[in-house]
Amino acid sequence: MSTEGQQQEQLSQSDLSPSSNSSSSFEIIDMDAASLYEPVSPHWFYCKIIDSKETWIPFNAEDSHRLEEAYGSEKDCNGKVVPTDGGRYDVHLGERMRYAVYWDELASEVRRCTWFYKGDKDNKYVPYSESFSQQLEETYMLAVTLDEWKKKLESPNREIIILHNPKLMVHYHPVAGSDEWGSVPTEQGRPRTVKRGVENISVDIPCGEPLKIDHLVFVVHGIGPACDLRFRSIVQCVNDFRGVSLNLLQTHFKKAQEQQQIGRVEFLPVNWHSPLHSTGVDVDLRRITLPSINRLRHFTNDTILDVFFYNSPTYCQTIVDTVASEMNRIYKLFLQRNPNFKGGVSIAGHSLGSLILFDLLTNQKDPLENNDSEKALCTDRDLQEMGIPLGPRKKILNYFKNGENTEGINKSNQQSALGRNLPVLSEKIKDCNSIDGAGNDEYLDISIGQASVKYPRLIYKPDIFFAFGSPIGMFLTVRGLKRIDPNYKLPTCKGFFNIYHPFDPVAYRIEPMVVPDVEFEPMLIPHHKGRKRMHLELREGLTRMSMDLKNNVLSSLRMAWKSFTRAPYPALQATEAAAAEEPEPEPEPVPEKPSGWWSYVPAGDSPVANKEAASINVGMLNGGQRIDYVLQEKPIESFNEYLFALQSHLCYWESEDTVLLVLKEIYQIQGIFLDQPAQ
């Protein structure tokens, strides 16, 4: 036997040998041995492949309890399906498999776990199979009942497990590289700890999610299959976003939860990258891709080219069709699985995903409006078969739809609008390079997306559109759109929040396109614990101090200059008398503090400029509210904004400040507000 094995054997014998003062304890064990055994409490786990290795993850306490109830209710579990994870997954008990409901994902194995052993490298506990756990439990029961320990078992892969005593149970793992030909199970090798029951292992078991769903949010990803620096998918990133929202509901909406006014917000991912790259375009790209710098070229083909795909009419149609059809499909499925759902729907997009959603929303039609184009005697297909080009076809169809005479539009404006695919506006609008919706007039088709793309309809009307790290402003400018009319609003969506990190290299503002002649700061998103971050307050304080010092110095210099250039004494008396008659100037009003402890304030350092920025009119794109909202950078990020630029574009998934803004605006629709902090 090896030295390690001898040491383990000595340890086991020393643990089992009774001391001189422990005879009474053993008498108690002999008398009440049968009463000491208690059945083990099972907990359900599922297996995920993370970084190319199996990881066993516990279900939350409520899901595990429901699975155990379903397991014990019937002897035959075949056909038994239990929804878990807030209804996003179904567990088929008979198959012991877990399937995603709303998106494509590899099925994962499910296991009813009672016995565990410590893994090789990460020190995480791994559950034994259900059948072998049953053998371990039966052996343990006999050992406790008869007080006969040092029981040996052989695992299915011919490894030895020894139950030395209730506190010491060991699994001997074979030495790497040992000869397996004709070998017999042995106690040689590195011992691993064995534990009975999930309560004896170090694992975090999450709490369950509220059953009631108040609001549904679809989340659309940007370029590429990976959505963060850890190269995780949109499903994993939205899981983080949802997890942050559940924590914030407990801390910032605690009163509403205790009064059972709210449940939770469900966030569901929408994937368009996989359907796009399954069209065969990747095969075509591989044929023309150079063999050098293979990894960089693969990254370019799989990620960066998504921007060019969206600018291609052919693949843009594929992308918008995929996004719209996926959201419609998931929405129908969600209603089938949640028939009592009465909440609203919002949509959120990250990076290029926000542009896709913006183009979809600007090309929606309000179903409540009278759609005269459907009553037209000819359709777009009819006009196309007649050989009429795209621009004139749109004019003819829009004429029927609006019932308006467009003769007042001058020819140059028509050509400008159609040539750059900009709005064809009514004769009352002077600027043709704008999105317009002023007054009560019924304007023609906006069509700021691709000219040859037919944008599908959504089967619901979103309440709010959230854009994270969005390049919408840049794309609109590149398309030739100079300004957005203040009266324009999305046809079927009332709210629009453009949220970005100050160092995000992909993000652009929207408000300067609505108010192009005024420079003003975006609204600053408060820290989720309130106020500004300390380094920002310090910087703002130093700025104010320097401004005050500068003003005091200038005032002193002016007074000194006046003392050198003052008039003779009689004239000075007259001047002083006239000055005494003048009323004292009124002090400048102090800007009012925003109502509520978690309120948006302009991001500038000047109080006067901030007051002006807070009251500026940015139009109806967000229902009269401000549109641009900037996050506060972390202290470490402020040292080098270039170093954290890429991370800033991918920070939104785990940003408490971003999630809290989303929750605040969603629940504000229902008349539910954030808790006031304890005084």
Closest to 458 measured CA to CA, from 668, 620, 218, 235: 218
Q: Tell me the two tokens of residue 27.
A: 């008498």
Task: Quote the CA–CA distance of 190 and 158 in Å, as a whole number.
Answer: 15
CA dihedral 560→561→567→573, nearest 10 degrees, is -40
Task: Quote the CA–CA distance of 237 and 650 in Å, as a whole number.
Answer: 10
Closest to 623 measured CA to CA, from 509, 482, 471, 497: 497
What is the 3-state secondary structure of 529-568?
CCCCCHHHHHHHHHHHHHHHHHHHHHHHHHHHHHHHCCCC
Instruction: Output the CA–CA distances (angstroms, integers) from residue 57 to 117, 123, 294, in the order listed.
Output: 14, 14, 35
Q: Dump the DSSP string for 448-481.
A: -S-TT--PPPPSS--SEEEEES--HHHHHHHTT-
Cross-strand bridge partners of residue 99: 90
DSSP state of 407: T
The residues, any chain, with a CB within 8 Å of residue 477's CB and separated by 6 or more, are: 513
Apex 59 CA angle, 57 and 64, nearest 5: 140
* Phi, psi values for residue 316, rounded to 5°: -60, -40
Q: Tell me the two tokens of residue 550.
A: 């500068």
Q: Is 351 a catalytic residue?
A: yes
**Is the backbone of residue 87 left (phi > 0), alpha (psi -120 to 50) or beta?**
left
Closest to 120 measured CA to CA, from 177, 188, 27, 191: 191
Reduce the DSSP state of residue 294 to 3 states and report it. Answer: helix
For residues 405-416, one letter each, b for 16 or more C-beta atoms within 10 angstroms of the residue's C-beta and e for the rest, the string is eeeebeeebbee
Q: Is 462 exposed, middle or buried (0-12, 13-18, 19+ CB in 10 A)?
A: buried
The residues, any chain, with a CB within 8 Å of residue 630's CB and separated by 6 or more, are: 499, 500, 501, 502, 522, 523, 524, 525, 603
**Cα 390 from chain centre:** 39
Q: Dump the DSSP string for 613-670.
A: HHT----TTTTTS--EEEPPPPTTGGG-TTTTHHHHHT-GGG-HHHHHHHHHHHHHHT
* CB-based contact 598:530 (threshold 8 Å): yes
Pairing of strands 495-500, 464-468: parallel
Q: Which is catalytic among the residues 108, 155, 245, 351?
A: 351
Residue numbers annotated as active site = 351
